[in-house]
Amino acid sequence: MTYPVPANDAERLRTLRAYKILDTKPEERFDELTRLAALICGVPISLISLIDTDRQWFKSRFGLDVQETPRAQAFCTHAIMQPEMFVVPDASKDERFAHNPLVTGDLHIRFYAGAPLAARDGHVLGTLCVIDREPHTLTEAQKEALKIVGRLVIANIELRRDLEELREAIATENSSGSPGNLDEIISRLQGVASDLQAVREGRKPA
**Residues 165-181 pLDDT 10s:** 888 877 776 666 555 55
Q: Please indicate, yes or no, if residue 23 is contained in any of the structural domains.
A: yes
Q: Please indicate, yes or no, if residue 97 is contained in any of the structural domains.
A: yes
Q: Please indicate, yes or no, if residue 61 is contained in any of the structural domains.
A: yes
**For residue 112, what is the domain's CATH number?**
3.30.450.40
Q: Please indicate, yes or no, if residue 116 is contained in any of the structural domains.
A: yes
DSSP state for residue 107 in the 8-state scheme: T
Whether residue 163 is predicted with pLDDT greater than 90 in this model: the reply is: no
Q: Please indicate, yes or no, if residue 107 is contained in any of the structural domains.
A: yes
Q: Please indicate, yes or no, if residue 98 is contained in any of the structural domains.
A: yes
Domain extent, residue 108, equals 9-138
Mean pLDDT score, 131-156:
97
- d(CA 170, CA 146) in angstroms, rounded, equals 36
Single pTM value for the model: 0.85
Q: Which amino acid is located at 29 in the chain?
A: R
- Phi (first) and psi of residue 41, to 5 degrees: -90, -5
Q: Please indicate, yes or no, if residue 179 is contained in any of the structural domains.
A: no
